[in-house]
Amino acid sequence: MTNSPENLFNPNRKLSKIVERIVIVIFGLFAFVSIATTAGIILTLASETFAFFQDVPLWRFLTDTEWTPLFTNPQYGIFVLLCGTFLTAIIAIIVALPIGLLSAIYLSEYAPPKLRAWLKPALEILAGVPTVVFGYFALLFVTPLLQNFIPQLEGFNALSAGLVMGIAIIPLVASISEDSISAVPQSLRQGAYAMGCTKKEVVTGVVIPAALSGIVASFILAISRAVGETMIVTVAAGQNPNLTLNPLVSVQTMTSFIVQVSLGDAPTGSLAYRTLFAVGTTLFVITLVLNIFSYWFVRRFREQYE
């Protein structure tokens, strides 16, 4: 309507203003959805967890040494699940952090541009593989392979779940670290070369310290991902709540417990339903603390370059 010729010289400014107002309100509501999501997560977790602690005292949650909430004589020792979670996460991190960082160094400092143009999309594909596929791979390829070398390895175990999870997290560490390594200005490198440094000395002595805040941020994000990763551990580490640090046996993580209860239909308001949210809250708090630490670290140690 506003585009027809007779209107071009006499635009309806009032209408335009009103339309703009309406658009701003609608889009503003859309932006508010993200705030509402956060609020929704916190309210949901808090209310159901509060109800959970009406039935199960906090000290039992923290001190029981068994996790058997679905049995007739239930025990609620969250440490059992924490133990399983950290066991798999630590194995994953041992794999992902060094390999991810070295890949970032190779991609940004050593790889020729043509090779790099192939390697980066390939890593993106690795990042895009669904986690249930990694779970399949861990259970049906890696575990039988490892059993050739470690005969006492169980069919479900923390080791292969952790190893494969580490591979799955490599692209995350590599891409964030590479971004921050690439952001280090060329003049810093040239300065170091001018002082007679070799390429290795430039990389380890100048580039990595300068990019440290981004590298650490990628590490923390990787830890947070490993703690919250669900399908790999559900498929490959089993459902056996075990208070152990032995990577050769089956363990249950917080996330795989949530899957286990979700698959059996827990009625609303039942204690099993609330257990979901108590475990979810524990998981959420851990990832939140890691996030806050990452924010703090990046703000504190970021090097700003023009």
The reply on whether position 196 binds other proteins by CB under 8 A is yes
The reply on whether position 280 binds other proteins by CB under 8 A is yes
Nearest to 175 by CA among 235, 100, 94: 100
- Quote the CA–CA distance of 98 and 87 in Å, as a whole number: 18
Residue 135, CA distances (Å) to 166, 248, 251 in order: 12, 17, 15
* 3-class state of residue 85 by DSSP: helix
- Quote the CA–CA distance of 154 and 223 in Å, as a whole number: 25
The reply on whether position 121 binds other proteins by CB under 8 A is yes
* 24/94 with CB nearer other proteins: 24
The reply on whether position 125 binds other proteins by CB under 8 A is yes
- Quote the CA–CA distance of 98 and 208 in Å, as a whole number: 13
* 27/301 with CB nearer other proteins: 27
The reply on whether position 140 binds other proteins by CB under 8 A is yes
Binding residue for other proteins, selected from 57, 98, 191, 209, defined by CB under 8 A: 98
Binding residue for other proteins, selected from 7, 46, 53, 141, defined by CB under 8 A: 141
Site for other proteins in 1-60 (CB under 8 A): 11, 16-17, 19-20, 23-24, 26-28, 30-31, 33-35, 37-38, 40-41, 44-45, 48
Instruction: Kindly report the backbone phi and psi dihedral angles of residue 178, in degrees, each rounded to the nearest multiple of 5, phi listed first.
Output: -65, -40
CB 279 within 8 A of CB 48: no
Strand partners, 67: 76
Binding residue for other proteins, selected from 68, 131, 147, 240, defined by CB under 8 A: 131
- Quote the CA–CA distance of 11 and 21 in Å, as a whole number: 17
* 94/288 with CB nearer other proteins: 288
Binding residue for other proteins, selected from 80, 89, 92, 139, defined by CB under 8 A: 139
Q: Which stretch binds other proteins (CB under 8 A): 66-74, 100-108, 185-193, 241-249?
A: 100-108
* 73/82 with CB nearer other proteins: 82
Nearest to 280 by CA among 5, 16, 104, 40: 40
**Amino acid letter at 38?**
T
* 295/301 with CB nearer other proteins: 295
- How many residues of this chain bind other proteins (CB under 8 A)? 90
Q: Which stretch binds other proteins (CB under 8 A): 57-65, 72-80, 146-154, 289-297?
A: 289-297
The reply on whether position 150 binds other proteins by CB under 8 A is no
Q: Which stretch binds other proteins (CB under 8 A): 65-73, 186-194, 240-248, 277-285?
A: 277-285
Torsion of CA 155, 158, 160, 161, to 10 degrees: 110
CB 210 within 8 A of CB 303: yes
CB 188 within 8 A of CB 205: no
Q: Which stretch binds other proteins (CB under 8 A): 57-65, 180-188, 194-202, 241-249?
A: 194-202
Binding residue for other proteins, selected from 221, 237, 249, 251, defined by CB under 8 A: 221
- Quote the CA–CA distance of 125 and 175 in Å, as a whole number: 12
The nearest distance, CB 74 to other proteins, in angstroms, is 20
CB 217 within 8 A of CB 294: yes
* 234/242 with CB nearer other proteins: 234
The nearest distance, CB 119 to other proteins, in angstroms, is 6
The reply on whether position 229 binds other proteins by CB under 8 A is yes
Token pair listed for 12:
């309806």
Residue with tokens 């979901």: 276
